[in-house]
A and B are shown apart, each in its own frame.
Chain A
Amino acid sequence: MSKVNLELVQNLYDAFKRGDIATIIAALTPDVHWQVHGRASDFPTIGQWSGPHGAQEFFRRVDESLEVAEFTPHQLHASGDKVFVMGHYRWKVRRSGKPAAAEWCHAFTIRGGKVAVFREFTDTAAFADAYRG
């Protein structure tokens, strides 16, 4: 299962990099829990969303708030039903024009070949700062 899970997650990053959000949404369970850890008051893409519609709203906010300059998953690690990924990204925050760069860690839980939980940990202070302008 681990290898299949790694392939699934790798496919989702590839889809994200080509702007193919539909592929990501199609790979979510109906009750997916999608969370970027932190306070929603700090940045529009920080918070929790439920279900594929919720995740779609998350990606709409990403597009509305951020322009990607670099998005690099470094290495994928599988453990049981989970896949952990650490990486780095740089964005331009559209509201202020300021950059936000951070190391991040993603934790996926896979159930029946679909993503049941997604968690992102990032440098929320860098985003909050760039958003305030």
Chain B
Amino acid sequence: MSSANVTLVKSLYDAFKRGDIAPIIAVLGRNVDWRVNGRVKDYPCFGTWTGPADVTRFFGLVAENEQASDFSPREFLSAGDKVFVTGHYTWKILKTGRAVDSDWIHVFTLDDGKVTSFREFNDTAQFAEAYRG
């Protein structure tokens, strides 16, 4: 299962980089718990989204608020039902034109080929500051 999970997660990054959100939504569990660590008052893409329809809304917020200039997953590590991915990205925050440059870690939990939970951790202070302008 572990290597299948890593293959699946890698395919989601490839889809995201092509701007193809549908394959991501298609592999989410019905009650997927999707969280970007941080306070929603700091940045619109921080918070919790539940279920595939809500996660579609999350990707809408991403497109509305930020533009990626670099999005680089670096390491994929499987542990039990989880896949941990470390990486780096740079964004332009569309509201202010300011840049964010951050390392991140993503944690996927999978069950029978479906993503049941996603966690992102990043340098929230940079997003908050760039959004305030």
Contacts and interface: CB of A to CB of B under 8 A. Distances in A.
B92 to A, nearest CB: 18
A126 B39 contact: yes
Interface residues of B, number: 26
A22 to B, nearest CB: 29
Contacts, number: 77
B73 to A, nearest CB: 14
Nearest to B123: A38
Interface stretch (B12-20, B23-31, B102-110): B102-110
B39 A84 contact: no
A121 B77 contact: no
Contact of B86 (A38, A104, A107, A125): A107
Contacts of B79: 77-79, 82, 84
Contact of A104 (B39, B84, B102, B121): B121
A53 interface: no
B119 A125 contact: no
B133 to A, nearest CB: 15
Interface in A1-60: 37-39, 42
A126 B121 contact: no
A62 interface: no
A39 B123 contact: yes
B37 interface: yes
B77 A79 contact: yes
Contact of B84 (A77, A102, A129): A77
Report which residue of B82, B107, B125 has the largest number of chain A beta carbons within 10 angstroms of its beta carbon. B125
Nearest to A82: B77
Contacts of B37: 102-103, 105, 121-123
A124 B125 contact: yes
Contacts of B84: 77, 79, 82, 84, 107
B125 A127 contact: yes
Interface in A108-128: 119, 121-128
Nearest to B80: A77
Interface of A: 37-39, 42, 77-80, 82, 84, 86, 102-105, 107, 119, 121-129
14 contacts: A39-B126, A77-B82, A82-B84, A84-B82, A84-B84, A104-B121, A107-B86, A121-B37, A121-B121, A122-B121, A123-B37, A125-B38, A125-B125, A128-B128
Given A84-B107, A123-B124, 6 more contacts: A37-B123, A80-B77, A103-B37, A122-B121, A124-B124, A128-B129
